[in-house]
Amino acid sequence: MAPKVATDGSGRPDWRRPALRVGLETALVALVATYLSIHLTSPLLVALLVVAAVVGSIALLFRELDRQAYAWVRYASNRAQESQRKKRREREKRRRQRQQAQQGDRRADGDSEG
């Protein structure tokens, strides 16, 4: 099941909440990495911790970008389907109007002959 995505008033996916969330999560990762690196004495462990923090932050960013891209694709797909439904309804309406006009012409031809 797809995760819920915040939308703005028009129904388009909103980027502000995900951006804020990624920023806060990245800040949390950076703070935890900083806190742990202060208490570590080995430069190798500090380097590994920094690399892990950077990789984790990038993973968080790409996860949210993936969700946002999926939300935009879903939004565009829904818009395209709605547009196709609208065109189909308009075609059906024109077809019915043509049929009614043809039936009206036949009745008028039948009345004029009699």
Residue 51: inside a domain: yes
Structure confidence at residue 105 (pLDDT): 77
Q: Does residue 26 sit within a domain?
A: yes
Residue 2 domain-assigned? no
Q: Is residue 10 part of a domain?
A: no
Kindly report the pTM of this predicted structure: 0.65
Residues of the chain whose pLDDT is less than 50?
A: 1
**28 domain residue, yes or no:** yes
Distances from the Cα of 104 to the Cα of 62, 94, 111, 113, 114, angstroms: 62, 15, 11, 14, 16
Residue type, 16: R
Full domain range(s) for residue 33: 16-113
Name residue, tokens 């008028």: 108
Instruction: Decide: 79 and 37 in contact? Cβ < 8 Å.
Output: no
For residue 6, being part of any structural domain is answered with no
Residue 113 has what pLDDT? Answer: 61
Q: 75 lies in a domain?
A: yes
Question: If you write DSSP's letter for every residue of 8-37 in order, what string do you get?
Answer: -TTSPBPSHHHHHHHHHHHHHHHHHHHHHH
81-112 pLDDT tens trace: 999 999 999 999 999 999 988 888 777 776 66
How many structural domains does the chain have?
Answer: 1
CA angle 16, 18, 19 (to 5 degrees): 65
In the prediction, which pLDDT does 9 show? 61
Residue 3 is assigned to a structural domain of this protein:
no
